[in-house]
Amino acid sequence: MSELLKVFQGGVLVGSLDKGDGEPFYGFTYDEAYLKTSSAVPLSLSLPLSACRYTGYEAMPFFEGLLPEGDVREAVARQFHVSATRPMELIRVLGKDCAGDVVVLEEGDSGDLSEETAYVPLPNALEEIARYPYGAISQLRAEYRLSLAGGQEKIALFHDDRVPLDKGWFAPLAGAPSSHIIKPQVTDRFPFLTPNEFMCMEAARAMGFEVPETAIVLGERPLFIVRRYDREITGEPGDGSLQMLRRVHQEDFCQAIGLISARKYEGQKTHHAQDMASVLVEYAMQPIEALRELFRRIAMNYLIGNCDAHLKNYSLFLRESTAVSLAPVYDLMCTTIYDGRFGSELSRGMGIRIGDHLNIDKVTPNDFALLAQDMRQPKRAAAKILEELAGSVEEAFEVAAVESVRVGLGDDACDLMQRIVKSTAKRKDVMRKAVDLLG
């Protein structure tokens, strides 16, 4: 294994990872020349610009956070014949197309990350992923070293926007940026996961949240496709060439706070809402607006029944040296409908505690008053947010159902919408009582 890895950000060498004795991960050191540039931006809020070496313990949360998790990490590790318990081995083989604009290369790899990057056409990619999700994704991952952070089976590919979404897919090579994330329905244990995520994302859009472009492509099984919010188009396609993309620097709150992925869920002795608020108070370009929006997003995830909204499902853009803004919402899902009567049962424990409670069914109006304190929200402002969300959720899902039918999901979409809306009834009541308490 290489003793040194190079870390690029936006095509610029920003530092190196080196192996230290007894450390669980590579240590990280910013490049001296990079630190002298006026445009230097920290890789992570947990790794401020400094000439000092960060130990493997300090560097691990950010870099390990770029890797797959859980069963997906185990599968990736088997494919590349490395240990799933040694993230330093995985970052070496999967570091070329990470979230945001970070690229990790072995010392001998070319550092030329110019726009002249290569893509390999995949004419039957979507059909194969829909028919054999695990097998097709495993093959793509092994052949092109493609993977993504998170615990869900998914793949990042490049799409030529001159053609419809069911065609024009490419595998990025040599660190070329991908443009979309493709998520198949990989299990029948939880029915309609793909329409569920599409519908929740569209409902959030209807409620006024910033949501990436989403789509459904039908086939053997429906595929949920989302355009990456951490990529920007920099040039129009020319004759025989594809549009150029630029990576956008971002990190999730787990990385920003300095926690490894295993600690992304709230525990009995943690209070992630307060930690997230502290990050925004210190670093946000517009902290008052950012805190209000974060309060709104946590409340929305509660309302739609998304218990899986953990620290890695809230992210930040780092566009200037120490000024951040919230990235769009993503990975929205109504998990509470999976209660044993509709597929397998999912946990009722939320990823982010609201007030004193982790269990979504035990949240009280007073818990929202406590969340408002955590988010530095005036009572009237918090009450207005909760009132607007509770009053708009049913219509938002009706809009989402219409869009779901339009893309071909059929009557199942309307049935799913009714199931989700029904599941929100008790939580709407809690929020409206919180409005009275705060008002």
- Does a structural domain hold residue 87? yes
Token look-up 């396609």 returns: 237
Count of the separate structural domains present in the chain: 3
Q: Do 263 and 374 fall into the same domain?
A: yes
Residue 220 has pLDDT above 80, yes or no: yes
- Note the pLDDT of residue 198: 96
- Residue 220 structural domain: 119-247
CA 233 to chain centre: 20
Q: Do 275 and 422 fall into the same domain?
A: yes
Share of the chain above pLDDT 70, in %: 90
- Does a structural domain hold residue 113? no
Beta carbons within 8 Å of 155's beta carbon, 6+ residues apart: 129, 137, 140, 141, 146, 148, 181, 182
Strand-strand pairing, 349-354 and 357-359: antiparallel
Token representation of residue 114: 């110019």
pLDDT in tens, 16-38: 999 888 888 999 999 999 999 98
Strand order from edge to edge, sheet including 250-252 = 250-252, 315-318, 324-326
- Does a structural domain hold residue 114? no
Beta carbons within 8 Å of 221's beta carbon, 6+ residues apart: 130, 131, 133, 184, 185, 194
Q: Do 200 and 328 fall into the same domain?
A: no
Q: Do 269 and 387 fall into the same domain?
A: yes
Q: Which of 247, 263, 286 is the last residue of a domain?
A: 247
Q: Do 85 and 129 fall into the same domain?
A: no
- Does a structural domain hold residue 111? no
pLDDT in tens, 75-117: 777 777 777 667 777 887 777 767 778 888 887 665 554 444 5
Q: Do 145 and 230 fall into the same domain?
A: yes
Residue 285 has pLDDT above 80, yes or no: yes
- Does a structural domain hold residue 55? yes
pLDDT in tens, 153-201: 788 899 999 999 999 999 888 678 889 999 998 778 888 999 999 999 9
- Note the pLDDT of residue 1: 44
The amino acid sitting at 74 is E
What CATH number should be reported for the domain holding residue 301? 1.10.1070
- Note the pLDDT of residue 337: 95
Instruction: Give which of 389, 378, 381 is closest to 430, Cα–Cα.
Output: 389
